[in-house]
């Protein structure tokens, strides 16, 4: 009976956690998005998000990986995701209404912030909240935050201790978007800076969690960065094709081996037409 009850509770937890992921990805002219999350256990410490900021139409992209595994990581996954979404999008998330209505100086300030300013504020706020209120848990998350302008292809980003995201050109060239600050939640008052890249027409972007490159074959060999790059170059640079191609290469490599970590990928591409 205890085993049955535990199984039911884990199923409830899995369904609740699924609701923290976006039901659908944003649609914007000239941009394709695709994402996938494959937990290694019943619940996951990985998360991703993608949403549009009014009135600019900027698309915010998020990939995160909470330290540790299991239920504890899953609980903090929900907290990190909620903090990031609420602080990046306080109008739709309801935070603005809580502090005085829809037309406030705070809202006007948020809407006039540059994407780089917004991302560094989100990283700083999330980091300080976790570090100050939950520091005794020693839980933290590596997170990649980006803001994509669908019109120009400008991609502002904050990499908080995460694996480098990749910009892939149709020619096969790959640029790494390396860390610009520490993981979120370790210590308060950390400094986060923003980087910038451009997705030219035909370019694609891929962010992922370390479970992808650290996945093991039955012989114990890691999938690794080079196999990932090979898979990216073998597939046309459209977001759906990239994600499908990378996951197919991963499945072919790992075979029947048990996954030891969650795998999450989020891709964006600009159409060349």
Structural domain count, the chain: 1
10 within some domain: no
174 within some domain: yes
What does the alpha-carbon distance between residue 224 and residue 208 come to, in Å, rounded to a whole number? 13
What does the alpha-carbon distance between residue 273 and residue 148 come to, in Å, rounded to a whole number? 18
Query: Which residues are within 8 A (CB) of 169 and not within 5 positions of it... i.e. 6 or more apart?
Result: 175, 200, 202, 203, 237
Mean pLDDT on 204-212 = 97
Say what the pLDDT of residue 13 is: 64
Query: What is the span of the domain harbouring residue 60?
Result: 33-270
81 has which bridge partners?
none
Query: Residue 232 — pLDDT band, cuts 50, 70, 90?
Result: very high
180 within some domain: yes
- What does the pLDDT look like over 63-113, one tens digit per residue? 999 998 777 888 899 999 999 999 998 766 544 444 444 544 445 455 668
Mean pLDDT on 228-235 = 95
What pTM was computed for the model?
A: 0.90
Query: Which residues are within 8 A (CB) of 262 and not within 5 positions of it... i.e. 6 or more apart?
Result: 37, 38, 39, 40, 41, 44, 45, 46, 65, 69, 209, 211
User: With 70 as the cut, is the pLDDT of residue 130 above it?
Assistant: yes
Who wins on pLDDT, 267 or 271?
A: 267
CATH of the domain at 132: 3.60.40.10
Query: Which residues are within 8 A (CB) of 59 and not within 5 positions of it... i.e. 6 or more apart?
Result: 26, 28, 31, 33, 50, 51, 52, 53, 147, 148, 150, 268
- Of 136-140, 201-205, 269-273, least confident by mean pLDDT is 269-273
263 within some domain: yes
- Per the prediction, the chain carries an average pLDDT of 89
Torsion, Cα 124 200 57 247, to 10 degrees, reads -70
User: With 80 as the cut, is the pLDDT of residue 219 above it?
Assistant: yes
Residue of 8, 11, 32 lying closest to 205 (CA atoms): 32
14 within some domain: no
């Amino acid at each position: 009976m205890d085993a049955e009850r535990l199984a039911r509770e884990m199923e409830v937890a899995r369904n609740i956690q699924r609701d923290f992921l976006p039901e659908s990805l944003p649609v914007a002219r000239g941009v394709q998005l695709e994402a996938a999350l494959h937990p290694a256990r019943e619940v996951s410490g990985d998360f991703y998000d993608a949403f549009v900021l009014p009135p600019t139409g900027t698309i915010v992209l998020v990939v995160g990986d909470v330290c540790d595994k299991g239920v504890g990581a899953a609980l903090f996954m929900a907290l990190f995701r909620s903090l990031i979404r609420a602080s990046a999008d306080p109008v739709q998330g309801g935070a603005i209404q809580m502090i005085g209505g829809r037309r406030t100086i705070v809202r006007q300030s948020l809407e006039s912030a540059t994407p780089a300013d917004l991302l560094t504020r989100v990283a700083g706020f999330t980091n300080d909240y976790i570090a100050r209120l939950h520091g005794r848990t020693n839980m933290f998350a590596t997170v990649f935050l980006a803001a994509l302008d669908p019109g120009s292809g400008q991609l502002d980003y904050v990499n908080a201790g995460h694996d480098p995201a990749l910009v892939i050109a149709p020619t096969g060239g790959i640029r790494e978007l390396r860390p610009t600050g520490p993981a979120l939640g370790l210590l308060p008052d950390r400094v986060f800076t923003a980087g910038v890249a451009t997705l030219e027409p035909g370019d694609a972007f891929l962010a992922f969690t370390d479970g992808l490159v650290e996945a093991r074959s039955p012989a114990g060999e890691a999938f690794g960065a080079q196999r990932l790059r090979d898979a990216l170059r073998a597939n046309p640079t459209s977001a759906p094709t990239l994600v499908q191609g990378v996951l197919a290469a991963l499945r072919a490599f790992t075979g029947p081996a048990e996954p030891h970590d969650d795998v999450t990928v989020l891709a964006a591409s600009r159409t060349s037409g």
